[in-house]
Amino acid sequence: MAKTPSDDEVRARLDAVAYGLAVTPGFRIADLDAASTPSFDAGRTEGEKLLARMGERMSDLQERLYAHGRTGGNRSVLLVLQGLDTAGKGGIARHVLGLVDPQGVSLKAFGRPTPEELEHDFLWRIRKALPPAGRIGLFDRSHYEDILVPHAAGTADADELTARFDAIEQFERELVAGGTTIVKVALWVSRDEQYARLRERLERPDKHWKYSPNDVDVRLARPAYEAAYDEVLARSSYDIAPWYVVPADRKWFARLATSALLLRALLDLGLGWPEPTFDVTTELARLDATR
């Protein structure tokens, strides 16, 4: 019977994955091999087995987080997913968060701002969607859309972009100081894989609802989006909330890598089970008296 790895052994493996995905100085997203599987060479079958085992550990840690939230704790985890259309953000939401108890999860997908949202600061709608204490929150797109889109479209000047970068850094530092761990993941697909996925959406009636004519417009502007991502990754990957870039041509690896980053964050919380606010012996006696 295989020995169950200790938390230290699990953490060492997860650190290796994170190291292979972390943004480093001079990183350019155009240089990324989107079909690669950094720090994991065992293949899909083993990857899916590992994901299932990680899910068991993640479920336990999430329940501890939820229990602490119910008993006055302030910790939470926010998983931020960014990526071009077809990068697999929805698949991550279904498969990764499907490994844990849904009552401890909050999911928010951000689209174009509504008229009401446009009346407020760009972070207003983000603040409204933050996970409460004890929860894992997942953002399908995020506040970084308010830099990426205008940057790629050329609709914001350098001063405005800098102001947004500064606002986001202050916002994220406030979140971390308040007990939220932020895991920022950029999912990246190659041009060829994106084409294949978009074509599948057009050829399959059950996927038409996923397609938007704007997808081709964004695809035509891919170089501008690559430049926008390069700037975002360079300017907003800091000590308290670094960026990780996950090659996403292989869906199984994107799910495995993102799960590893989330599991690592949960392990780092170091949560045991909350202490009871009552005397257990007394309550056992009271319960037994009702037999």
Q: What is the 3-state secondary structure (H, E, C) of 130-143?
A: CCCCCCEEEEECCC
Q: For residue 194, is it within any domain?
A: yes
Q: For residue 6, is it within any domain?
A: no
pLDDT tens digits, one per residue of 59-79: 999 999 999 999 999 999 999
Q: For residue 12, is it within any domain?
A: no
pLDDT at 4: 60
Q: For residue 133, is it within any domain?
A: yes
Token pair 């071009």 in the structure block, residue: 84
pLDDT at 144: 98
Low-confidence ranges of the chain (pLDDT < 50): 1
CATH number at residue 41: 3.40.50.300
Q: For residue 13, is it within any domain?
A: no
pLDDT at 98: 85
Q: For residue 167, is it within any domain?
A: yes
Interatomic CA distance for residues 252 and 92, integer angstroms: 10
Say if residue 17 is exposed, middle or buried (CB neighbours under 10 Å; 0-12, 13-18, 19+).
buried
pLDDT tens digits, one per residue of 165-217: 999 999 999 999 999 999 999 999 999 999 999 999 999 999 999 999 999 99
- Total domain count, the chain: 1
Which residues, 6 or more positions from 53, have their beta carbon under 8 angstroms from its beta carbon?
none
User: In terms of residue numbers, what domain contains 280?
Assistant: 21-288
Token pair 């609709």 in the structure block, residue: 155
Q: For residue 11, is it within any domain?
A: no
pLDDT tens digits, one per residue of 23-33: 999 999 999 99
pLDDT at 5: 65
Side-chain half-sphere of 55: how many Cα atoms within 13 Å? 16
- Helices 44-70 and 251-269: crossing angle in degrees, nearest 10, is 30
Interatomic CA distance for residues 29 and 226, integer angstroms: 6
pLDDT at 1: 47
Q: For residue 266, is it within any domain?
A: yes
**What pTM was computed for the model?**
0.94
